[in-house]
Amino acid sequence: MSKKVIIIGAGIGGLSTALRLLKNGYEVEILEKNQTIGGRVNIIETDSFRFDLSASILMMPNCFKEIFSYAGKNYREYVKFIEIDPIYRLFSADKTTIDFNKNISTLVKSLEHISKADSLGYFKFTSDVYEKYLIANKFFLKRSQDSSKDFFNSKTLTKAFKIHTLATTYDYISRYIKNEKLREFLAFQSMYVGISPFDGPNIYTLVPVVSQLYGLWHLKGGMYSFINALSTLINEFGGTIKTGVTVEEIVFSKDKAIGVKTSNGIEKADIIVCNADFPYAMKNLVKDAHYKDKYTDKKLSEMKYSCSTFILYLGLKKKYPQLRVHNIYLCENFKENIEAAFKGTLPVNPPLYIYCPSRLDRSMVKNEGDCINIMLRVPNLFFTDIVWDNCTIDLLTNKILKELKNIDGLEDIEENIDYKNYLTPQDMESKFNAYGGTAFGLSPTLAQTNYFRPHFKSSTANNLFFVGSSLHPGPGVSLVLNSAKLVTEEILKSSIIS
């Protein structure tokens, strides 16, 4: 008789773990509090527009494709990957525009237009970080770090030393590149994991380098098409997804998680996998102090957390060919405005990430216009001076529109808005149980990575497991897919032992 698994939360980690366990013969039931699955990888749909709620940058497509092959399926029958070129268009407050193409010869021309010295520096930087990536990918990102032996061994420690991450992201970039715009462009991408490039370790320079070397991709219909594909596969394998069911507590007995308590009563299972945000789960779902282990309320309050995000969704009446799929707008006083999100204030002139999938994929719109998401890093809810009311939302919206109108060709964008919506840190917390309204969970500082990040397997209940962005290897859809793969391996290993 197969073992029953209950998975708390139908986010990307919960869904991909479910599919892997179903493939291995487990009986799987997913409980999701919202009416739609996907967690923060979600969607907003209107009569005319389709918006990815948050996740929009698809790096390392093999991580996405691998789960289909694991399930014995051809990904082409479920999703369509479209390569993006240029990978980014960079706009600056001084009206300059630079395209960063995947094609090397085209990229060289763009870089040499800045300066030949910086063109050379860019490729030296890329080469050195690529070496770091190969080490990190082999020895850290794709390996479990749950056991002390996984990290504290001579080989792993030697590799950790070799990728020398102590310098900050911005300082490390500056060793290679003198042009400030180019520095800021690379530093901005390194912030995608929710940590300041002026504070965080330089290991996150992997983000712009992996994007440049492996390219960025778009899924036809948006990132949510991947969620739909996982849901289809889970149904094909006989799994169950129940929406509108809130898990109130994980129930324990004799050092085992025996089930979960919901508004419908207690549901029992042999294994519990928690895809709820880890700090939220330890504070709210694990009631018994014994099973919290070291993650007491005091410990959680002492940990470091990522920033949050404010997203403005605009459905537009006309096309804006000046935009590409992925766009970065660099403001004046970059450092000051970037650091605002980590110091508890709102930026004066916000730097922006602008996502316009309709430039490439017309299935995202049903009119003759475009749909865009404008994302801005903001403080999480642990900074209590900011009240996320209509005044704050209007203030940020107006700041964003002011910067957008500074881009040549977008001067009339405000008068062409057909639809407007937004996502705030308060929404992150209330809708998705993101602890403190963070966008990326626990901050991936050096003291909170690898073995020092929360572990997949509970140390006090041997059949309770965790998956998600606050676990190893960290935040971002690609890494959470790795997290699901690693936690599945831990479950299979535990099942063999038991």
Does a structural domain hold residue 15?
Answer: yes
Does a structural domain hold residue 354?
Answer: no
Kindly state whether residues 121 and 185 are assigned to the same domain. yes
| Eight-state DSSP code of residue 283 | I
How many other CB atoms are there within 10 angstroms of residue 105's CB atom?
A: 7
CB hemisphere CA count around 269 (13 angstroms):
25
Closest CA to 475 of 309, 346, 355: 309
- By DSSP bridging, strand 464-466 and strand 271-274 are parallel
Does a structural domain hold residue 429?
Answer: no
pLDDT of residue 364: 98
pLDDT of residue 149: 66
Kindly state whether residues 136 and 210 are assigned to the same domain. yes
Does a structural domain hold residue 31?
Answer: yes
**Residue 6 contacts residue 196 (beta carbons within 8 Å):** no
How many other CB atoms are there within 10 angstroms of residue 367's CB atom?
A: 17
Kindly state whether residues 163 and 206 are assigned to the same domain. yes
pLDDT of residue 137: 79
How many other CB atoms are there within 10 angstroms of residue 2's CB atom?
A: 12
Kindly state whether residues 253 and 200 are assigned to the same domain. no
Does a structural domain hold residue 159?
Answer: yes
Sign of the CA dihedral 266, 272, 277, 283? positive
Kindly state whether residues 165 and 67 are assigned to the same domain. no
Give residue 167's pLDDT band: very low, low, confident or very high (50, 70, 90): confident
Q: How many independent structural domains does the chain possess? A: 2
pLDDT in tens, 216-232: 999 999 999 999 999 99
Beta strand spans in 386-449 (E): 417-423
Last residue of a domain, one of 188, 214, 240: 214
| pLDDT(155) > 70 | no
Closest CA to 68 of 82, 81, 56: 81
Kindly state whether residues 462 and 483 are assigned to the same domain. yes
* Rounded mean pLDDT, 174-199: 95
Give residue 157's pLDDT band: very low, low, confident or very high (50, 70, 90): very low
| pLDDT(263) > 80 | yes
Kindly state whether residues 108 and 209 are assigned to the same domain. yes
How close are the terminal C-alpha atoms of the chain, in Å?
15
Last residue of a domain, one of 162, 186, 214: 214
List, in sequence order, every residue forming a beta bridge with 355; answer none if it has no partner: 326, 373
pLDDT of residue 496: 60
Q: What pTM value is reported for the model?
A: 0.95
Distance of CA 340 to the CA centre of its chain: 20
Does a structural domain hold residue 329?
Answer: no
pLDDT in tens, 449-496: 888 899 999 999 999 999 999 999 999 999 999 999 999 999 999 876
pLDDT in tens, 118-154: 999 999 999 999 998 888 878 777 777 676 666 556 5
Kindly state whether residues 142 and 203 are assigned to the same domain. yes
Kindly state whether residues 75 and 112 are assigned to the same domain. no
Does a structural domain hold residue 435?
Answer: no
- By DSSP bridging, strand 27-32 and strand 240-243 are parallel
Kindly state whether residues 232 and 189 are assigned to the same domain. no
Closest CA to 252 of 276, 275, 264, 269: 269
Kindly state whether residues 40 and 122 are assigned to the same domain. no
Mean pLDDT, the chain, as a whole number?
93
Last residue of a domain, one of 214, 232, 257: 214
Domain that holds residue 141: 104-214
Kindly state whether residues 115 and 192 are assigned to the same domain. yes
* Rounded mean pLDDT, 426-433: 97
Does a structural domain hold residue 49?
Answer: yes
SS3 content of the chain, % helix, strand, coil (to 5): 40, 20, 35
CATH number at residue 486: 3.50.50.60
